[in-house]
Structure 1
Amino acid sequence: MRSKKRLRAVFIIFLLLLGATVGKLFHAQIIKHEWLKERAQANWDREIPFGGVRGEIVDRNGKLIVGNQLAPTLYFMPAQNPDPEEAAAKLAPILQVDQVKLAEKMSKKDYMVKLAPEGKNIAKAQADEISALKIPGLYTGVDFMRSYPNGELLSRLLGFTGYDGKGLAGIEYAYNDFLDGTGDRIRMYTDARGVPLPHVDDDFKDGKEGSSVVLTIDAEMQKIVERELSQAMEKYDASQALAIVMNPKTGELLSLASAPTFDPANYQDANPDIYNRNLPVWMTFEPGSTFKIMTLAAGLEEKVIDLDHDSFNDPGYTMVGGARLRCWKREGHGHQSFLEVVENSCNPGFIEIGRRLGEKKLSSYIRDFGFGESTESGIAGEAKGILFAENAFGPVEQATTAFGQGIAVTPIQQVQAVAAAVNGGMLYKPYIVKEIIGADGKATQSYVPEMKRRVISEETSAEVRRALESVVANGSGRNAFVDEIRVGGKTGTAQKVQDGKYKEGDYIVSFIGIAPSNDPELVVYVAIDSPKNSVQFGGVIAAPIVGRIIEEIAPLASIEPQKDQVEKEYRWGDPLTQEIPDLKGMTKDEVAKQQYTLRIEWHGNGKKVSKQLPVAGTVVNEEDVIHLYTE
């Protein structure tokens, strides 16, 4: 009886255990099947990554500026190849790398080795040759590298990507989170030794393409601007140069250029000082006379001067706080209206405007125009500039600030301020990105004009525009004059400072122009650092460059010819100009037979002209040099 009870108990326990086992198997095989399968596959899978497709960078018209090109990358699974040394011996000659170092990398105990940098971003021809070898354990992953269809164009704004495809400078860095993409992956299932598992199909994991960045830049305008800077660098043997073109009605930056440039595809070969410094936002210097536009606008707004009916006598200097502050014209300009003060860029005249304003109002207007703070353009590396502190803004500082000396500002601050002075008085934030476009082609983020504040009235702005047009027609900016385009502007010549002292004979010359002056669509700023081979004045060097840029980009900005511009009368000493002919394709003898009066400098030993600077159709002074480059 006792044994029957024991037997029954054992049987019940057996049934319970069997039921628990069956239940566990049902739970594992049916209910938890997919979860356990995924966990197992995670232990078995070996992924071969495809490079992420990074978003493109395009100009305002959709023209490609930075794209992608296919660049295969090699991966090696040591467990699938018993002789990595032999594999390295076959690969090394094709990759043109050290065989011993490659064999050492391929002999690692890792389940998968990325052969980088030796086998990263290889050419398609190399990939085809390697594929024909059919080396066990060697796989080719799809990768991408940046391509630049316009070469060095915009390089100091765009920046570049690094070894891992991430942005390291410029737009590539500032908008990396938008541009970055995640690549597709092939999932292979193997055991611990790397042997493929039977009855388990390989898998594919989708990635995500990066978003494209649409710039406000106009690529065709940029080409014209960069060409002019390149010519200026060569003609004047300058150390560097910069230019900005902005729409004053919106704050959109249409061109942003620095010279010299670099090749973003080979940034390792460039001087870091070049690719780390986007001059229009990074560089700070004394603005010189271009800053006088702000003093003029403030004086007109506060009605302390009248351009036509107030007069001022300039003996060549003025005394302020015991200091003698001279005009650039040593003998002075004599008796003149305030319109002539602006035309002549007379320092004592602008000191007088600053004196009438008073230190508080002058300082207030300068800050209202955006100086002393970032423009918030969104461009990496932007500086804030340097203004006098309020407790250090005495009579001398007030006087020198009025004509653009003793302070340091950035070019983009100057363009932002001048735009406000001529667009009706509204200070707009400069911006460089127009839209972010997702992989589906739809805009995920848009940027629109942002007005910060009104600085002056429309009436004052109209008077500023009138004065600036008069500067180009009758004053120091005459070299920026363009037939049938109403151009206004202001010259700037600033002596460079080093260790708190002015450097003798070393200047930054500049010119800021507007067009058309009656209803500005463009503000164009050009600065040339340390020019040589010429008189160092903004009106001599920078003004004609701005004039040529405006003349060429006006059609791109839909600016129509205008007949009602202020007439420019020829003055004795004005340079004679000539339009450059098209010399491409000609031989030296054929060029000589044309008997051009222009000076020609030849470059290269070829037979025919393949390139010329300046390009055909450019209007230059007769003493200028044409550079001809042979094949």
Structure 2
Amino acid sequence: MRVTHMTVRKRTYIVLLVVIFIFLGLIFRLGYIQLFKTHWLTERAEDLWRRDIPVEAKRGKILDRAENEIAYNVSAPTVIAIPAQIKDPELTAQKLAPLINMDEEKVYSLITKRTLMVYLAPGGRKIDDQVANQIMRLRLPGIVITEESKRYYPYGNLASHILGFTGIDNQGLTGIELVYDENLKGKRGSISFFSDAKGREIPNEKDTYTEPIHGLDLVLTIDLTIQKIIERELDKAVQTYQPESILAIAMNPNTGEILGMANRPTYYPEDYQSYPQEIYNRNLAIWKTFEPGSTFKIVTLAAALEEGKVNLNETFFDPGYIMVANHRIRCWKHGGHGEQTFAEVVENSCNPGFVTLGQRLGSELLFSYIHRFGFGKKTNIDLPGEASGLMFKPGQIGPLELATTSFGQGVSVTPIQQVAAVSSIVNGGYQIQPHIVKGWRDPVTKLYVHKNEHATGNQVISSETSELVRLTLEGVVANGTGRNAYIDGYRVGGKTGTAQKVGPDGRYLKNNHIVSFIGFAPADQPELVIYVAVDNPQGIQFGGVVTAPIVKGIMGDALKHLGVEKRTEQLEMDYRYDDIRYFDVPNLVGEEIKDVRRTLRHFQLEVIGEGSKIVSQVPKHGQRLPENTTIRVYLNE
């Protein structure tokens, strides 16, 4: 086909028009972007130029129930390098290395990395203020000091298994620090500057500061004074018995609030790297599972009373053993306790008597109460690492399993389960939820943003049964195996436990027991439940001898701290020859000294002054003190 001159011109015009429209489109597009997309373009450009140096948020404090600080932050400067801005890497490394205790070659390799910025770790992270000032005085290009914070625990190892600790980036690694890390850590801020593609700072551009959002303060249910009392008593027990381990829990039985919790061995959170993982990773109070022994008899007692299977005044004869499925189950007392009431069965912790109660209940009924009191599952306390224990399954329960379970052998439980169960039994019969967080507080206003509610669960036993159990367990302390927990002026109830440990081969170990005691007070209206367990104490291995005095030491001081007043009405102890007796201090003022010397029998007398008549005395009349306490009297001349 022949192409004419006119055809060529037409095609040229068409191409020209197309090119003109394209250019017009580009001009309009560029105009639109310049006029209407200026903000968008600026943001995109700034995103490419902006470089951010992170500014850590302050981690929230951890406080006890009275808002005493038990974990908080201290300033910790950190060295950051911006490699593109470093003019002389060799000289920079040479000057920095000795200040941050790092190898010069390591520092050089970090500051010459092809990256925007780099932490000079580990030596340059969270350094002392003095070292930070030395580095700033060097004025090294590309070396920046930013402020981080590190966790500080002012009471050392106090409550260490509750608190846990944080890592180099201030992240929670164990304990309450881990469980509530998200709320505690807050949100990072930053210092922003502008640089070119090679990382060189763009002149005449101002730095911008984005303020971090600090973490919330966490308020625990822990009472700092009670926690100190617990730690003191555990340290004394370690010195006395050198056990493999020891643990203690103190809880309000009505609310489920943990007032104190401690373990031995323990560790210092700020130096956790110096301890084996099994020490700082295991909170024995919630992690350790073992056969509870006789403290578990409280559950059997409560179930039998609630179901009407026993009258405490009913008599029972203990020959020292009971036969079950061709097995002889012995009482701890050689030769048995003979004839006794079931109240005395509890006081004497008589195994054959509790086997009889278990048989009266039957496996289905007994285990239904065991499960309703929370055994065999986690309590869901707000701490990491809780175990669930181990119960017999229905198909595994024969006459022997029923018998051993009734006195706390053959099943595996945790300490926190026992505290929760006994609390439910003595608080009127209501299930409670153990917890350790009271609420969250704004770090600036100090006002609560959230508080935990103390919800109670189902009622497992009646208030009448609960009262009867409390009175019976008060008898254990006054007249039975728990005598060493008796506190003059306070009504204390409780139960001892001595459980054989199972070895790796599944057999019981000889002379290797976990001894325990769980106590509560006041017995008529409990405000405090305390559980202590000692693993393999050296020497005597009986709960009443080893752990009851520990609970007494904690309970007495804790009740005073809580403002629980002493009373004169309590179940009198059946004193034995080795017991410390308490007597009321008589009023000696106005008496003749010669008469007092003849009649004062239970106390020692110290006389100050001359004369025949007593004008004052210390201690004063009305107090109740141990026998042989010295009373100082002042005469009229």
| Bucket of the pairwise TM-score, normalised by the shorter protein | 0.7 to 0.9
Q: Return the match for 1:504 from 497, 510, 513.
A: 510
Partner of 2:392: 388
SS in structure 2 of the partner of residue 251 of structure 1:
coil
SS at match of 1:86: helix
1:490 to 477, 491, 495: 495
What one-letter code is carried by the residue in structure 2 that aligns with 1:67?
Answer: Y
Amino acid at match of 2:40: W
Residues 1:120 and 1:576: Cα distance change in structure 2 (over 3 Å): farther
Q: Deviations over 1:257-286 (max 9, x none)?
A: 111111111111111011111111100001
Shift of 1:90: 0.8
The 5 A counterparts of 1:133-282 are 133-282=138-287
Q: Distance in 1 between matches of 2:141 and 2:120?
A: 15
Aligned residue among 49, 74, 83 for 2:79:
74
Q: Structure 1 pair 103/345, CA: closer, same or farther in 2 (3 Å)?
A: same
Q: Report matched runs for 1:482-561 at 5 Å.
A: 482-498=487-503, 499-532=505-538, 534-561=539-566
Helix, strand or coil for the counterpart of 2:322? strand
Equivalent AA in structure 2 for residue 367 of structure 1: H
Letter in 2 for 1:507: H
1:342 aligns with 2:346: yes
Counterpart of 1:474, as a letter, is: N
- Deviation by residue 1:88-127 (Cα, 9 ceiling, x = unmatched): 1111121122112212221222221211112100111110
Unaligned runs of 5+ in 2: 1-5, 583-624, 629-637
Alpha-carbon shift at residue 184 of structure 1 (Å): 1.7
Letter in 2 for 1:409: V
Residue 434 of structure 1: how far off its partner (Å)? 1.5
Note if contact 2:363-2:397 (Cα within 8 Å) is conserved in structure 1.
Answer: yes
Deviations, residues 30-71 of structure 1 (Å, cap 9, x unaligned): 321121111111111111111221111111111111111111
Paired residue total: 579
Q: Are 2:56 and 2:212, in contact at CA under 8 Å, matched by a contact in 1?
A: no
Report the equivalent of 2:611: none
Residue 322, structure 1, aligned to residue 335, structure 2: no
Distance, in Å, in 2 between the alignment partners of 1:76 and 1:436 is: 37
Q: CA deviation at 1:175?
A: 1.2
Is the contact between residue 49 and residue 142 of structure 1 (CA under 8 Å) also seen in structure 2?
no
Structure 1 segments unaligned to the other structure (5+ residues): 578-618, 623-631
TM-score (norm 2): 0.87
- Larger C-alpha radius of gyration, 1 or 2? 2
Contact 1:425/1:457 (<8 A) preserved: yes
Match in the other structure for 1:116:
121
Partner of 1:71, secondary structure, is strand
**Residue 48 of structure 2: which of 39, 43, 46 is its match?**
43
Query: In 1, Cα distance between the equivalents of 2:215 and 2:626?
Result: 45
Cα distance in 1 between the residues matched to 2:243 and 2:627: 19
Percent identity of the aligned residues?
A: 48
Identify if the C-alpha distance between structure 1 residues 336 and 7 changes in structure 2 by more than 3 Å, giving closer, same or farther.
Answer: closer
SS in 2 for 1:224: helix
> Structure 1 207/96 Cα, relative in aligned 2: closer, same or farther at 3 Å?
same
| Change in CA separation of 1:9 and 1:360 when aligned onto 2, cut-off 3 Å | closer
- Calculate the aligned-residue CA RMSD, in Å: 2.4
1:287 aligns with 2:288: no
Secondary structure at the residue paired with 2:32?
A: helix
**Alpha-carbon separation, structure 1, partners of 2:40 and 2:561:** 61
| Change over 3 Å in CA distance of 1:398–1:255 after alignment to 2 | same
Q: Residue 355 of structure 2 contacts residue 403 of structure 2 at CA under 8 Å; is this kept in 1?
A: yes
CA contact (8 A) 1:214 1:433 kept: yes
Structure 1: which 4+ aligned runs deviate by more than 3 Å? 4-26, 438-445, 573-577, 619-622
TM, length-normalised to structure 1? 0.87
State the alpha-carbon separation in 1 of the partners of residues 37 and 205 from structure 2.
19
2:405 is matched with which residue: 397, 401, 405? 401
Give the conservation status (yes or no) of the 8 Å contact 2:580–2:626. Answer: no
* Alpha-carbon offset, residue 201 of structure 1: 2.0
- Aligned position for 2:98: 93
Distance, in Å, in 1 between the alignment partners of 2:54 and 2:366 is 61
Give secondary structure in 2 for the equivalent of 1:466.
helix
Once residues 237 and 316 of structure 1 are traced to their aligned partners in structure 2, the CA distance between those partners, rounded to angstroms, is 32
Secondary structure of 2:97's aligned partner: helix
Give 1:466's aligned amino acid. L
Distance 1:14 1:295, change over 3 A: closer
1:353, CA displacement in angstroms? 1.1
Q: Note if 1:333 corresponds to 2:343.
A: no
